[in-house]
Structure 1
Amino acid sequence: MNEDGNDTPRPLGEVPEFRRIRSGPLPPHQNIPPRRRAPADQLPWLPSAAARRRRAALLLCGFLSAVVLLVSGSSWAVTGWLSDQLHRYDVFTGLLDENRPPASQGALNFLVIGSDDRSGLDSRQRSELGVGNVEGRRSDTMMLVHLNHQREHITVVGIPRDSWVRIPGHGPDKINAAYSLGGPQLAVQTVEAATGVRIDHYVEIDFTGFVEVVDTLGGITVCLPEAIHDEKAHLSLEAGTHRLQGTQALAFARTRKSPHGDLDRIDRQQQVLAALLDEALNAQILSDPARLAQFVETALGSITVDDTLDTAALIQLGTQLRSLGLDDVTFTQVPVDRIDFWTPSGEVAVTWHEQHATELFTAIAADRPIPQPQSAEDSALPSPDEVTVEVYNGTTIPGLGAQVRVELLESGFQVPESAGNWPQQDLAETLVRYSPEREDAATLLVESIPGARAEVDPGLGGRVQVIAGVNHTGVAVPAHAASPIAEQPVDVGGRETVHTRTAAENVCR
């Protein structure tokens, strides 16, 4: 749902009502456990200021940021009280293991949803927030947050809400439709099916919760490379540095009034996330019990999590994350290849770059570092238009040589001569023959032709040959070596490949 109010609720299916389990223990400053004597200027239930800073951790929790301050080790009472402020929903019951990606070995993956539910807002509040009047609930923001098995790094992947994916049981649709069609469970199923990454926990926050979190922290600082003016969102900011309070921060994070729409929106959301982290870690909330209580009630009272994220899980997570800082949080977004894909229903959607998105999610599922794009300076391979190839048919399959020639030409290689027949007609594997000085060209061809193998021949005198074998399936040039094509690609602002920034780099200084 965008701020223009153009999306309409999906009629299919009923969204199950949230089952919220609440309890009301006293805040920690009203139920202080006995401790050893402390200096006069230090509250008896708190560790030292240095220890408090070390033990502040990141609780994955919400809209845009997915991260707020968690008191990880002050006491069981504190963490239990934090846990009891959260709403809980049974997300994973009924999801069959055989239909889900395999569980990761030690890592944790959170699906973080920002809901556009307006049911608790009256007309005046909706107008003030600039969120429109459309009824129903949709996932306004979606992030996949990965904690590596060593708990020393967090990766936040922004997922464009207009991503064109297959929704289990409903067919192709925009990814944010999953939430409106089947609530958190279908949202989890859809993300798992699209990414191949097993979701371990679910976190959701609504509009008002985000605004109140920002206001409780005293606002956030953001930097704009260019002005943004969005009348419907009540946002007018010139280029430069701005201090935003909650309502403005929400408008800043949600507006799509920029050249690349949803993709720029994800960039701004990640800047907001970094700013929230920075404010939370520097706000000295732990030094003021009343302010801590206000922050927790504000931040966590608007958050829904899966029912497996209980007090024990929060304590363990907080303890494990106590040493993380801004440099240990990395932001990226799903690589895309089109932002103007016309769907069968006449809507505009976003499609992912198949190869790079697969590489990104494969790395996350395997708990490996995110692969970085290889620059032209780093690549030792030539581009296809720098490689001239001779093509031969090494099988009895009629026309296979001509087919391979066409595929190589379409991929940008130079193939000036028609395909010939190789003396040997029983090749099982496609063969790439090359002279020693053209090893780089042979490497590119082997990477571009699945199942091909290389064979050096000093007598070729600078030539390169491709002899098609029975196993030939096609030609696919690696993205980092692809030649520019004649058709002008859609400008997606450099989002075709994976690019990362740390939270420290995203913070406006």
Structure 2
Amino acid sequence: MSDDSSGTQGPGDGFRRERSQPLPPESRRSPRSGRVTVPSRAARRRRTGLLLMGVLSVLVLFASGTSWALTGWMSGSLNRFDVFSGLSDGDRPEQTGGLTFLVIGSDSREAVNQEDRNELSVGSTPGQRSDSMMLVRLNHERDRVTVVGIPRDLWVDIPGEGEDKINAAYAYGGPQLAVRTVESVTDVRVDHYVEVDFTGFVDVVDALDGIRVCLPEPVDDPKAHLDMAAGTHRVDGTEALAFARTRATARGDLDRIDRQQQVLSAMLDQALSSETLSDPAKLTAFLDSALSSVTVDSGLDTSTINELAYQMRNLDMGSVTFTQIPIADMNHWTPRGDVALLWDEPASRELFADVRADRPITEPEEEPSPEEGGRPAPDDIRVRVFNGIGTPGLGAQVDTGLTGAGFEVTDPAENWSSSDVPTTEVRYGPGDGTDAAYVAEMIPGSEAVEDDTLDGELQIVIGFNYTEFHAPDTEEAPEPEPEAEPSADDGLATSTARDNICG
């Protein structure tokens, strides 16, 4: 459709759009319908995960110094839809200087013939819904991109519709409601919209002569037609499609987002490191495949694309960071009896606050474990013992054990102010909690208790539950803890496009 809104069709019409002018020379327009026909079976291949093409189109379109000179033709090759006209500024998040794209992969099968549906195992589900979502944030300086994956099964409140999985927003109200829902969940203003349907993905990967992907463990998914051993593989478009869409792994949709980000990184690397961008003919053929299935908002016009392309001409793979919304529960039973995902709200709010403020997205720092150099040394700890149960000689016995273990015992043991202390306490002042926890490990049943009156010295008050002082073994190295299996509460994980490239 053209840039004006006269040809726009609403949600009730299935969100169909006409292609804008000018057309690439290979395309043909049907004299009856006026719609573009697809000339070959290869060009009719479609499947899910194609939001990757939207992100790839955005990044390649804007990140290449050679591509921006062609953006007049590129802009005309894009389909357009008037996404933001029905949204009230008063109900939307404020603008914060950066630029945010909502990229949606639509799973409509209407244009896919039955033979190709069978070949790519896409099924015949009617209607349209958003198969995948990503927020692509370009910072104010235009030198860093953050891509946040949004799981399609995330359980959220859809404005005007109630609680449902986030991908239902598109089915209820098209691009406008999808934008409203994402903005209400993230409190990040969406500036531009990119939608990808079931055209182009296989052709684009093949136009790049394939990509490299890697698996940490084998995957056998008959539904996705994927049987792939662990390791690194060179895949064509059909294989890349199966790799991007399978959910036959432990974390399901979350693993799929990771693989989609890996595929996107591989495609971007292949495009930027090959002759694709330096050869005008190859670039035109590549972008024709990439953009033919992409719909954008009407505000993403030629001048905007030209400006952004120039600003982002020096962007590299290390400047593109991927992450996804932190998940607290992967098996939330909804009121209607199916399973959805619940986000980790505190971690997610922090993530999107960083996105709004254009702060780099980093994984939270972990507290150093004792085995990683944070373990206290006995000769750095000052301690004094008090007998809280009155048993003669007990305090001196503990003194001897502490001294032998290398602790600095500041004074001989004394009686506590009472002789009926039930539980042994390791008392500590502000900032000495790590030392107190270390000492408490050596006295079974003891507990660490903070005492603001103490400063740089621990006090051990022996209680009735005292049995022994177990001196630390300084010769035997501690056994490393086994690596935890991936779970919903692993927290925020990040990677760059360079990190995602298989070696």
What is the TM-score of this pair, normalised by structure 1? 0.68
Match of 1:499 in 2: 493
1:145 aligned partner, one-letter code: V
Change in CA separation of 1:21 and 1:455 when aligned onto 2, cut-off 3 Å? farther
Matched, 1:17 2:15: yes
Superposition deviation, residue 74 in structure 1: 5.0
Alignment partner of 1:63: what SS?
Answer: helix
Matched, 1:88 2:80: yes
2:220 aligned partner, one-letter code: H
1:67 aligned partner, one-letter code: L
Matched, 1:169 2:160: yes
Change in CA separation of 1:309 and 1:224 when aligned onto 2, cut-off 3 Å? same
Change in CA separation of 1:374 and 1:310 when aligned onto 2, cut-off 3 Å? same
Match of 2:236 in 1: 245
Within the candidate set 34, 51, 55, 1:66 is matched to 55
1:312 aligned partner, one-letter code: S
Where does 1:127-146 land on structure 2 (aligned, <5 Å)? 127-146=118-137
Kept in 2, the 8 Å contact 1:86–1:303? The answer is: yes
Aligned partners of 1:346 and 1:252: how far apart in 2?
29
Match of 1:200 in 2: 191
Match of 1:426 in 2: none
Matched, 1:364 2:364: no
Aligned partners of 2:310 and 2:451: how far apart in 1?
55
Change in CA separation of 1:460 and 1:243 when aligned onto 2, cut-off 3 Å? closer
Alignment partner of 2:277: what SS?
Answer: helix
Within the candidate set 104, 129, 141, 1:113 is matched to 104
Kept in 2, the 8 Å contact 1:62–1:205? The answer is: yes
1:282-306, Cα deviation, whole Å (9 max, x unpaired): 2212343322221121111110011
Which of these two proteins has the greater Rg computed from alpha carbons?
2
Aligned partners of 2:330 and 2:488: how far apart in 1?
12
Kept in 2, the 8 Å contact 1:100–1:192? The answer is: yes
Change in CA separation of 1:492 and 1:346 when aligned onto 2, cut-off 3 Å? farther
Task: Please identify, of 142-151 and 282-291, the stretch whose mean Cα deviation from structure 2 is larger.
Answer: 282-291
Aligned partners of 1:19 and 1:503: how far apart in 2?
32
Aligned partners of 1:460 and 1:237: how far apart in 2?
58
Aligned partners of 2:486 and 2:181: how far apart in 1?
24
Long gaps (5+) in structure 2: 1-10, 26-49, 376-420, 422-426, 435-449, 460-483
Task: Please identify, of 305-314 and 206-215, the stretch whose mean Cα deviation from structure 2 is larger.
Answer: 206-215
Superposition deviation, residue 26 in structure 1: 6.6
Within the candidate set 170, 182, 194, 1:179 is matched to 170
Where does 1:97-112 land on structure 2 (aligned, <5 Å)? 97-105=89-97, 107-112=98-103
RMSD: 3.0
1:347 aligned partner, one-letter code: D
Within the candidate set 334, 338, 342, 1:343 is matched to 334
Change in CA separation of 1:458 and 1:238 when aligned onto 2, cut-off 3 Å? closer
Match of 1:409 in 2: none
Aligned partners of 2:109 and 2:67: how far apart in 1?
36
Aligned partners of 1:235 and 1:63: how far apart in 2?
19
Aligned partners of 1:20 and 1:232: how far apart in 2?
33
Match of 2:404 in 1: none
Where does 1:174-323 land on structure 2 (aligned, <5 Å)? 174-323=165-314
Task: Please identify, of 133-142 and 335-344, the stretch whose mean Cα deviation from structure 2 is larger.
Answer: 133-142
Match of 1:429 in 2: none
Superposition deviation, residue 503 in structure 1: 0.7
Alignment partner of 1:305: what SS?
Answer: strand
Aligned partners of 2:338 and 2:133: how far apart in 1?
20
For these two proteins, the number of residue pairs brought into alignment is 377
Within the candidate set 143, 146, 155, 2:146 is matched to 155
1:63 aligned partner, one-letter code: L
Aligned partners of 2:233 and 2:144: how far apart in 1?
29
What is the TM-score of this pair, normalised by structure 2? 0.69
Kept in 2, the 8 Å contact 1:65–1:273? The answer is: no
Aligned partners of 1:260 and 1:64: how far apart in 2?
24
Task: Please identify, of 253-262 and 369-378, the stretch whose mean Cα deviation from structure 2 is larger.
Answer: 369-378
Aligned partners of 1:460 and 1:272: how far apart in 2?
54
Long gaps (5+) in structure 1: 1-12, 28-60, 383-416, 418-434, 443-453, 464-489
